[in-house]
């Protein structure tokens, strides 16, 4: 019996071995299920749009879902690195997930293109983090834009309400770091659960603290409930949202009650309103078109971060390919060097300029402030 | 907080609470009729709500094709069942009749979703679609499992929950929805706006509870369902179909869930997985109502809503911590109201048939088994050489899970205590070492004892609260512990919260950091194999037998001198220590911690692994965790390639596979494999003939009064079961207790043996007043048998007998696990064999007690009682079911015991047997002593003749 089991285990493990060799292998991790699936699903859908042929190389994308769970992300990364021997990794979707996989990335000396907001994956730059390149607007860029808007509008006190999951915790952390230098005081700090059907208690607490403004830190449809509850209970101040709310559901579910919300997000969200002076306009449109062609609906902004990772690979794989063969440590090192030297690459949401010290790429041009007016996004000039 | 805020919170709490109440009512209904702990009740809510919203958006909701699929499956399953019974034609028509209702709903919904109907019509259709699916689910998932244990039904529910959540993500997508309002009116009450919506939900909840209560008390159908709930076999004998009752209750539950979904969809955002937490809170309400009372459950659910509302105002981060911490004291109060020794409902699981093998064949199979065991260990040792680092890393996760599940095997499989909290104890082990070693730079080797010590203290605390709780309260208490722990992991500043804890130092051995999965493999699997060995040693020892006896009833174990409370705590603590050890290993292997691997979902998953593998078996722990971990990973890797669609497909397929497997093998994979391969062989016993016997106690001299009952009465409410009874039992004498059924003999027996406490009067045993605790009395020298045989059916005859000698030796758990207990063990086994020989059962020593004939089981109980070296033996109808020769042998034995100076009290209906054996007879009638005297006096006593012949019976 036990022998049979041993064979069975061996058989299962053999079956786990990956598919046939391709020229360049890229592992993609996104959270297509679980709490941040609203972010991850668009990223997963975008994988199908990534370039399958770059220069003389065919690119094989291997996809895994991490269930929005950092621990699962580390398991996925280990599989990519040890089993599939990938040349690069795109993902994971969540900031904590990316932080969790850092040691494995550094140990294996493999490039990771992380579509996450937190700057902690690339700052302060050290030996571990030099393998990571960020393809999403820095959380602090988003928060800085929001805080700048708050300051301009005379906001002195503010409340934060975020989900009790990695995403909400991360937004909260970045927000608190951004308001301190601006002299804005946080006077209520509440959490709620994504599955909560009521946030009346938290909302009442915020209203009794009477802040000038409230920031909601959540993603997708979850962003709506706190704001609508605040409005229903008679809150008169302004409600801010992060780019987590930059989804069609926010407008649909929020209806009239979210009119006047201010959020900071990528120019892609208001593609038609941005002027041609925004460098990423054309590139953003290319992504929107490609996505719409396959899925029949326009994408939100989250998938664009994976699309941009594809653009970065498109530029750098041919360069690395001149120095070494894919599948070798030399190729991975060359790819890293090439990425570090990317200059003026226009992505769907901004322009990438990498340096050895700065792997976060985007500058402030990748963020615009947007408001909701009559049920539609409206660019704030 | 001012009054307005308080009122605001109250209205919010009630508004949420009534939704929980609706779900609680459905859960109580399902549990009372089908014994199913229906975890996915909340899923009906999200399905109902999202179907409703999809219709509003002018789409055809995915639940409509899903209903079609369920109907098709239903017909196929019915036909397949009919094919086997060669009645295909009749079954085809009955299968079609069974799905006629759902088919009509399907057609209407299909048509209805093609037009833009008014809101209320859409609501009705959405509810109808989900309601129609309820009975189909019962037929497909639960009907084949009608006789499975409550635990298996719970695990199947968990699997169904996985499937339904995964399907919901596929059907409805990850984004949330909100419906247009049904009633858009608010009434201001004292400055607080009360939504018409809320009043509507309250009205419907109250009406539903009233209707259910009325139906269960006053309608034929309701009474029939109630009958099924109380006694399934009895109901079946009365011609009430349990399947029909099951389908009806699922129809109602699905209706209630979908209705709740439609009602709340305008007030909140509904996500594909919103339902689970709603259902969980409904479940908590249901438990507070004892899973029996509709109104109390509903009130409990409203209480949860209120607790939640106020705690989200005061401390939103710790909301769940507060709510679920408060549940435990409420549960405690509930159980304290119950009587002293709780007799749980026991599922009588079928004991697997034992092979009748020749000694030669037995030896051969044992050799094969040993060979396979050696091969397994060699295979484990060879894995690092064959497999890649990644594959070995996967095996490491299997090993870590198997360590946790090994503890669950002891706790849930063997001791019968269902715990959802194991993942929390893994987390305690992991976070303690993670925090201390990364913050203070302490070597992980030093944090191991610390982690274990903290886990041990917390396990003791946890068990002191939970183990007292019995029945359904225990799983809920552990679930509450699990939820509290998870939110503490996520909320405490020391843990790094949701973002996680990084930079945990690696384990160092001889100055070198251990990184490679293969090195870890040696440690993890080495520990696992040793722990398995230790656990198998433990189960085959004095304390192990006591733990194995827990499932067969506390009264039996206590009557054998077993401290069941201490044994339960020990099982809990051992399981938690194993979990904490796994956590410690995990923390340094993974070097990153976040709360999700320690969530209650993971706790459920560990339980899942145990049941899939075979909850009562050590091999099952490894098989279960291996299958779950590897299958999950395999599906996750390969399904996206095959399907390339959005959704949680691996969880859907995994859940369906798990349900199918449990329908086929409700006892788990490992036991089924043992049966299939014929390798379920009894342990080989080697006994040395000159083994010492345990010491004997001092016995009273013949003629001395051993037991004195003085004027005892026992009332159960208004009924006086015993009235003013006095009697004596003397050493070297057989006292018989006779009387018609219902005369109060069993009650008197219970009073003497300490199971009950007399309402007045007292019982003296060996000159001291009885403590009325069976364990104390047993340890003092009172042995007993039971009217309805109580043995541990899956233990061998000799083990059952050795259980009787439990109090005559002391063996610690550690000594047992390390096999340092052998001299004492040999003594106990020698004593057991001696008693078996005395009663003539030694030939059957190594057969399973459950496979003995009923008469032999009675004799086994006597041997077991004798093994405790008693000076008073209480025998409850020992001759029932015995054949003539066996009765003679029994009489012979009792005479011999009497000659040795034993006092014997015997309750018996066989008059010949009694008259030939007894020295004195006490006759009881209507709870009173009618007469007392020698057999000759009793036979001539006119009152006795009147009672027996005069037609009292």
HEC string of B655-701 equals: HHHHHHHHHHCCCCHHHHHHHHHCCCCCCCCCCCCCCCCCCCCCCCC
Cα B47 from Cα A9, distance rounded (Å): 38
Q: Which residue of A has its CA nearest to B46?
A: A195
Of how many residues is chain A composed? 381
- What average pLDDT does chain A have? 86
Coil, helix or strand at residue B733: strand
Minimal CA separation from A138 to chain B, in Å: 17
Sheet strands (E) in A297-367: 345-346, 351-352
B369 interaction partners in chain A (CB closer than 8 Å): 1
Structure-block tokens of residue B501? 């804890």
> Could you give the C-alpha distances from A217 to B313, B333, B911, in angstroms and in order?
18, 40, 82
Residue bearing tokens 């509904």: B270
- The C-alpha angle with vertex B511 and arms to B508 and B513, in degrees rounded to 5, equals 40
Residues β-bridged to residue B733? B903
Q: Quick one: pLDDT at residue B224?
A: 75
> Could you give the C-alpha distances from B488 to B22, B331, B483, in angstroms and in order?
29, 21, 9
Give the model confidence (pLDDT) of B606-631 as tens digits.
Answer: 998 998 898 888 999 999 999 998 98
In terms of Cα–Cα distance, which of B871, B857, B860, B818 is closest to B543?
B818
DSSP assignment of B361-374? HHHHHHHHHHHHHH
Interface contact flag, A221 B313, Cβ < 8 Å: no
As a whole number, mean pLDDT of residues B470-481 equals 78
Nearest neighbour of B597 by CB, restricted to A37, A71, A247: A71
B636–chain A Cβ distance below 8 A for any pair? yes
Give the model confidence (pLDDT) of B570-585 as tens digits.
Answer: 999 999 999 999 999 9
Q: Are B220 and B39 within 8 A, CB to CB?
A: no
Cα B62 from Cα B50, distance rounded (Å): 10
Give the model confidence (pLDDT) of B445-458 as tens digits.
Answer: 999 999 999 999 99
Q: Which residue of B has its CA nearest to A44?
A: B646
pLDDT band at A235 (very low <50, low <70, confident <90, very high): very high
- What average pLDDT does chain B have? 86
Residues β-bridged to residue A346? A351
Interface contact flag, B269 A168, Cβ < 8 Å: no
Interface contact flag, A195 B391, Cβ < 8 Å: no
Q: Which residue of A has its CA nearest to B265?
A: A197
Interface contact flag, A208 B5, Cβ < 8 Å: yes
B647 interaction partners in chain A (CB closer than 8 Å): 33
Q: Quick one: pLDDT at residue B874?
A: 94
Give the model confidence (pLDDT) of B541-558 as tens digits.
Answer: 999 999 999 888 888 999
Per residue, the 3-state secondary structure of B816-851, as one string, reads HHCCCCHHHHHHHHHHHHHHHHHHCCHHHCCCEHHH
Give the model confidence (pLDDT) of B70-117 as tens digits.
Answer: 999 988 888 887 776 666 677 777 778 888 889 999 999 888 888 888
Give the model confidence (pLDDT) of A121-161 as tens digits.
Answer: 887 788 888 999 988 888 788 899 999 999 999 999 999 99
Structure-block tokens of residue B748? 């008197």
Give the 3-state secondary structure percentages of chain B, helix then strand then coil, rounded to 5: 65, 10, 25
Cα B285 from Cα B476, distance rounded (Å): 10
B383 interaction partners in chain A (CB closer than 8 Å): 9
Q: Quick one: pLDDT at residue A27?
A: 93
Interface contact flag, B636 A164, Cβ < 8 Å: no
Cα A282 from Cα B60, distance rounded (Å): 36
Give the model confidence (pLDDT) of B247-257 as tens digits.
Answer: 889 999 999 99
Cα B671 from Cα B616, distance rounded (Å): 9
Q: Are B839 and B862 within 8 A, CB to CB?
A: yes
H or E stretch covering A263:
strand A262-265
A197 interaction partners in chain B (CB closer than 8 Å): 16, 19, 264, 267-268, 270, 274, 278
Neighbouring C-alpha atoms within 13 Å toward the C-beta of B517? 23
- DSSP class of residue B497 equals G
- The C-alpha angle with vertex B227 and arms to B221 and B233, in degrees rounded to 5, equals 125
Cα B946 from Cα B952, distance rounded (Å): 8
Cα B376 from Cα B184, distance rounded (Å): 67
Give the model confidence (pLDDT) of B883-940 as tens digits.
Answer: 888 899 899 999 999 999 999 999 988 888 999 899 999 999 888 898 899 998 988 8
Asked if residue A249 has pLDDT above 90, the reply is no
Q: What is the dihedral of CA B168, B172, B173, B175, to 10 degrees?
A: -110
- The fold for domain A139-265 equals Rossmann fold (3.40.50)
A332-346, B287-301, B635-649 — which is least confidently predicted?
A: B635-649
| B647 vs A65, more confident | A65
B426–chain A Cβ distance below 8 A for any pair? no
Mutate to test the interface with B, among A198, A216, A295 (most CBs of B within 10 A): A198
Give the 3-state secondary structure percentages of chain A, helix then strand then coil, rounded to 5: 50, 20, 35
Q: Quick one: pLDDT at residue B345?
A: 46
Give the model confidence (pLDDT) of B675-716 as tens digits.
Answer: 888 777 777 666 666 678 888 888 888 889 999 999 999 988
Q: Are A314 and A26 within 8 A, CB to CB?
A: no
Minimal CA separation from A360 to chain B, in Å: 20
Interface contact flag, B320 A15, Cβ < 8 Å: no
Same topology between domain A12-137+282-362 and domain A139-265 = yes
Most confident of A284-288, B430-434, B785-789: B430-434
Structure-block tokens of residue A236? 């008169």
Q: Quick one: pLDDT at residue A21?
A: 41
Structure-block tokens of residue B773? 């605790």
pLDDT band at B230 (very low <50, low <70, confident <90, very high): low
B679 interaction partners in chain A (CB closer than 8 Å): 1
> Could you give the C-alpha distances from B589 to B393, B514, B595, B600, in angstroms and in order?
10, 8, 16, 22
Interface contact flag, B592 A74, Cβ < 8 Å: yes
- DSSP class of residue A301 equals S
B438 interaction partners in chain A (CB closer than 8 Å): none
Asked if residue A7 has pLDDT above 60, the reply is no
Cα B553 from Cα B564, distance rounded (Å): 9
CB atoms within 10 A of CB A293: 9
Q: Residue ranges per domain, chain A?
A: 12-137+282-362, 139-265
Interface contact flag, B636 A65, Cβ < 8 Å: yes
Interface contact flag, A3 B372, Cβ < 8 Å: yes
Asked if residue A1 has pLDDT above 50, the reply is no
Q: Are B635 and B649 within 8 A, CB to CB?
A: yes
pLDDT band at B341 (very low <50, low <70, confident <90, very high): very low
Instruction: List Cβ neighbours of A259 (8 Å cut-off, separation of 6 or more).
Output: A372, A373, A374, A375
Minimal CA separation from B333 to chain A, in Å: 28
Q: Quick one: pLDDT at residue B337?
A: 62
Q: Quick one: pLDDT at residue B204?
A: 87
| B854 vs B147, more confident | B854
As a whole number, mean pLDDT of residues B59-67 equals 91
Cα B67 from Cα B134, distance rounded (Å): 10
Q: Quick one: pLDDT at residue A19?
A: 40
Minimal CA separation from A149 to chain B, in Å: 28
Cis peptide before B943 (omega within 30 of 0): no
The pairing of beta strand A57-65 with beta strand A88-90? unpaired
B264 interaction partners in chain A (CB closer than 8 Å): 197
The ipTM estimated for the assembled molecules is 0.82
Minimal CA separation from A74 to chain B, in Å: 8
Minimal CA separation from B34 to chain A, in Å: 29
Interface contact flag, B313 A197, Cβ < 8 Å: no
Backbone angles phi, psi at A86, to 5 degrees: -70, 160
Q: Quick one: pLDDT at residue B582?
A: 97
Q: Quick one: pLDDT at residue B218?
A: 78
As a whole number, mean pLDDT of residues B777-802 equals 91
Asked if residue B286 has pLDDT above 50, the reply is yes
Nearest neighbour of A201 by CB, restricted to B9, B273, B500: B9
DSSP assignment of A202-239? HHHHHHHH--SEEEEE--GGGGHHHHHHHHHTT--SEE
Interface of B with A in 454-493 (CB under 8 A): 487, 490-491
As a whole number, mean pLDDT of residues B500-505 equals 84
Cα B819 from Cα B199, distance rounded (Å): 66
Nearest neighbour of A201 by CB, restricted to B176, B310, B638: B310
Q: Quick one: pLDDT at residue B90?
A: 73
H or E stretch covering B719:
strand B719-730
B596–chain A Cβ distance below 8 A for any pair? yes
B320 interaction partners in chain A (CB closer than 8 Å): 193
| B752 vs B183, more confident | B752
DSSP assignment of B223-247? HHHHHHHH-HHHHHHTT--HHHHHH
Q: Quick one: pLDDT at residue B923?
A: 92
Q: Give pTM, 2 decimals.
A: 0.87
Cα B220 from Cα B236, distance rounded (Å): 15
Interface contact flag, A33 B647, Cβ < 8 Å: yes
Q: Which residue of B has its CA nearest to A96?
A: B499
The pairing of beta strand A351-352 with beta strand A345-346? antiparallel
A193 interaction partners in chain B (CB closer than 8 Å): 277, 319-320
**Architecture field, domain A12-137+282-362:** 3-Layer(aba) Sandwich (3.40)
In terms of Cα–Cα distance, which of B193, B437, B205, B442 is closest to B302?
B205
B53–chain A Cβ distance below 8 A for any pair? no
Minimal CA separation from A182 to chain B, in Å: 25
Of how many residues is chain B composed? 953
Minimal CA separation from B828 to chain A, in Å: 33
Cα B660 from Cα B658, distance rounded (Å): 5
As a whole number, mean pLDDT of residues B455-481 equals 82
Minimal CA separation from B66 to chain A, in Å: 21
């Amino acid at each position: 019996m036990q022998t049979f089991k041993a064979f069975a285990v061996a058989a299962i493990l053999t079956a786990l071995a990956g598919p046939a060799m391709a020229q360049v292998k890229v592992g993609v991790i996104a959270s297509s299920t679980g709490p941040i699936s609203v972010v991850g699903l668009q990223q997963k859908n975008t994988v199908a749009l990534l370039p399958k042929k770059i220069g003389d190389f065919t690119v094989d994308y291997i996809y895994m879902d991490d269930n929005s769970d950092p621990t699962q992300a580390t398991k996925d990364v280990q599989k990519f690195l040890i089993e599939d021997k990938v040349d690069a990794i795109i993902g994971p979707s969540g900031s904590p997930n990316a932080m969790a996989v850092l040691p494995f990335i550094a140990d294996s000396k493999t490039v990771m293109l992380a579509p996450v907001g937190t700057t902690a994956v690339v700052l302060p730059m050290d030996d571990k983090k030099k393998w990571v390149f960020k393809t999403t607007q820095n959380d602090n860029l988003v928060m800085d834009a929001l805080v700048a808007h708050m300051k301009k509008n005379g906001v002195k006190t503010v409340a934060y309400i975020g989900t009790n999951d990695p995403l909400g915790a991360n937004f909260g952390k970045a927000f608190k770091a951004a308001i301190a230098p601006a002299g804005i005081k946080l006077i209520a700090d509440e959490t709620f659960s994504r599955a909560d059907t009521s946030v009346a208690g938290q909302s009442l607490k915020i209203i009794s603290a009477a802040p000038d403004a409230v920031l909601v830190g959540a993603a997708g449809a979850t962003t709506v409930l706190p704001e609508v509850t605040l409005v229903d209970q008679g809150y008169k101040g302004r409600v801010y949202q992060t780019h987590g709310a930059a989804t069609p559901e926010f407008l649909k579910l929020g209806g009239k009650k979210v009119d006047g919300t201010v959020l900071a997000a990528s120019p892609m969200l208001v593609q038609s309103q941005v002027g041609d002076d925004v460098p990423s306009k054309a590139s953003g449109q290319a992504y929107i078109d490609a996505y719409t062609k396959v899925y029949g609906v326009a994408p939100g902004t989250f998938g664009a971060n994976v699309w941009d990772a594809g653009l970065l690979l498109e530029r750098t794989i041919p360069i690395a390919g001149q120095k070494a063969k894919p599948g070798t440590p030399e190729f991975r090192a060359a790819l890293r060097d090439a990425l570090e030297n990317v200059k003026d690459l226009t992505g769907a949401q901004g322009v990438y300029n990498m340096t050895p010290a700065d792997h976060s790429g985007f500058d402030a041009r990748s963020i615009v402030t947007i408001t909701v007016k009559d049920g539609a996004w409206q660019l704030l000039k | 907080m001012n009054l307005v805020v308080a009122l605001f919170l109250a209205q919010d709490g009630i508004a949420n609470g009534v939704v929980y109440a609706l779900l609680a009512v459905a859960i109580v209904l399902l549990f009372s009729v089908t014994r199913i702990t229906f975890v996915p009740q909340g899923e009906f809510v999200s399905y109902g709500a999202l179907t409703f919203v999809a219709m509003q958006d002018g789409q055809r909701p995915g639940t409509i094709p899903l209903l079609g699929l369920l109907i098709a499956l239903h017909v196929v399953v019915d036909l397949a069942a009919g094919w086997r019974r060669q009645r295909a034609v009749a079954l085809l028509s009955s299968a079609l009749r069974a799905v006629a209702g759902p088919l009509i709903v399907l057609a209407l919904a299909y048509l209805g979703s093609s037009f833009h109907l008014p809101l209320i019509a859409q609501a009705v259709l959405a509810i109808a679609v989900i309601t129609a699916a309820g009975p189909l689910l019962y037929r497909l998932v639960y009907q084949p499992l009608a006789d499975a244990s409550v635990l298996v039904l719970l695990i199947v529910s968990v699997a169904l929950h996985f499937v339904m959540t995964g399907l919901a993500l596929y059907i409805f997508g990850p984004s949330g929805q909100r419906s247009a309002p049904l009633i858009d009116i608010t009434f201001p009450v004292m400055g607080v706006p009360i939504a018409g919506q809320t009043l509507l939900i309250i009205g419907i909840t109250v009406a539903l509870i009233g209707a259910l209560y009325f139906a269960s008390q006053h309608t034929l159908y309701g009474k029939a369902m109630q009958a099924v709930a109380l006694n399934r076999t009895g109901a079946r004998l009365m011609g009430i179909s349990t399947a029909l009752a099951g389908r009806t209750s699922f129809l109602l539950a699905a209706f209630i869930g979908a209705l709740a979904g439609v009602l709340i969809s305008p007030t909140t955002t509904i996500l594909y997985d919103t339902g689970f937490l709603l259902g969980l809170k409904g479940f908590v309400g249901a438990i507070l109502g004892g899973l029996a009372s509709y109104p109390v459950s509903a009130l409990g659910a409203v209480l949860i809503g209120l607790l939640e509302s106020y705690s989200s105002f005061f401390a939103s981060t710790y909301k769940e911590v507060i709510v679920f911490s408060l549940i435990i004291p409420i549960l405690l109060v509930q159980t304290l109201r119950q009587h002293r020794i709780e007799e749980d409902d026991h599922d009588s699981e079928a004991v697997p048939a034992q092979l009748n093998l020749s000694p030669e064949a037995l030896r051969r199979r044992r050799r094969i088994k040993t060979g396979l065991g050696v091969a397994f260990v060699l295979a484990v040792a060879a894995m690092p050489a064959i497999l890649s680092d990644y594959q070995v890393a996967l095996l490491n996760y299997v090993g870590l899970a198997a360590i946790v599940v090994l503890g669950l095997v002891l706790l849930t499989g063997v001791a019968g205590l269902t715990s959802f909290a194991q993942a929390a104890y893994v987390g305690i082990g992991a976070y303690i070492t993670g925090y201390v070693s990364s913050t203070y730079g302490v070597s992980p080797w030093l944090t191991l004892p610390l982690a274990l010590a903290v886990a041990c203290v917390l396990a003791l605390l946890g068990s002191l609260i939970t183990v007292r709780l019995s029945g359904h309260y225990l799983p809920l208490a552990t679930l509450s512990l699990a939820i509290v722990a998870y939110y503490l992991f996520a909320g405490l500043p020391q843990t790094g919260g949701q973002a996680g804890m990084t930079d945990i130092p690696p384990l160092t051995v001889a100055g070198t950091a251990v990184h490679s999965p293969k090195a870890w493999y040696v440690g993890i699997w080495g520990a696992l194999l040793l722990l398995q060995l230790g656990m198998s040693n433990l189960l085959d020892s004095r304390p192990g037998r006591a733990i194995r006896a827990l499932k067969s009833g506390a009264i039996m174990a206590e009557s054998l001198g077993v401290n069941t409370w201490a044994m339960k705590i020990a099982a809990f603590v051992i399981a938690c220590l194993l979990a904490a050890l796994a956590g410690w290993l995990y923390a340094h292997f993974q070097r990153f911690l976040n709360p999700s691997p320690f969530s209650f979902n993971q706790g459920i998953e560990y339980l899942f692994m145990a049941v899939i593998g075979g909850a009562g078996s050590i091999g099952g722990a490894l098989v279960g965790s291996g299958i779950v971990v590897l299958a999950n990973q395999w599906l996750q890797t390969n399904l996206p390639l095959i399907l390339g669609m959005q959704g949680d497909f691996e969880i859907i397929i995994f859940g369906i596979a798990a349900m199918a497997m449990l329908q086929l093998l409700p006892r788990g994979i490992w036991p089924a494999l043992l049966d299939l391969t014929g390798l379920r062989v009894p342990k080989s016993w080697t006994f040395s003939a000159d083994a010492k016997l345990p010491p004997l106690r001092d016995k009273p001299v013949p003629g001395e009064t051993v037991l004195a009952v003085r004027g005892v009465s026992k009332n159960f409410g208004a009924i006086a079961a015993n009235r003013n009874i006095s009697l004596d039992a003397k050493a070297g004498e057989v006292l018989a207790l006779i009387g018609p059924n219902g005369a109060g003999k069993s009650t008197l027996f219970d009073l003497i043996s300490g199971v009950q406490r007399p309402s007045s009067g007292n019982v003296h045993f060996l000159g001291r007043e009885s403590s009325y605790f069976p364990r104390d009395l047993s340890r003092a020298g009172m042995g007993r048998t039971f009217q309805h045989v109580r043995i541990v059916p899956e233990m061998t005859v000799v083990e059952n007998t050795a259980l009787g000698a439990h109090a005559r030796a002391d063996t610690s758990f550690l000594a047992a696990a390390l096999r340092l207990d052998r001299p004492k063990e040999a003594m106990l086994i020698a004593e057991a064999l001696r008693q078996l020989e005395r009663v003539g059962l030694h030939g059957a020593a190594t057969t399973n007690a459950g496979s003995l004939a009923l008469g032999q089981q009675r004799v086994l109980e006597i041997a077991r009682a004798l093994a405790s070296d008693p000076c008073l033996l209480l025998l409850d109808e020992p001759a029932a079911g015995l054949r003539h020769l066996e009765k003679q042998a029994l009489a012979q034995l009792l005479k011999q015991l009497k000659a040795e100076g034993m006092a014997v009290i015997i309750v018996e209906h066989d008059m010949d047997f009694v008259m030939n054996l007894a020295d004195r007879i006490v006759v009881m009638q209507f709870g009173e002593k009618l007469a007392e005297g020698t057999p000759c006096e009793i036979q001539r006593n006119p009152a006795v003749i009147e009672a027996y012949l005069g037609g009292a019976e």
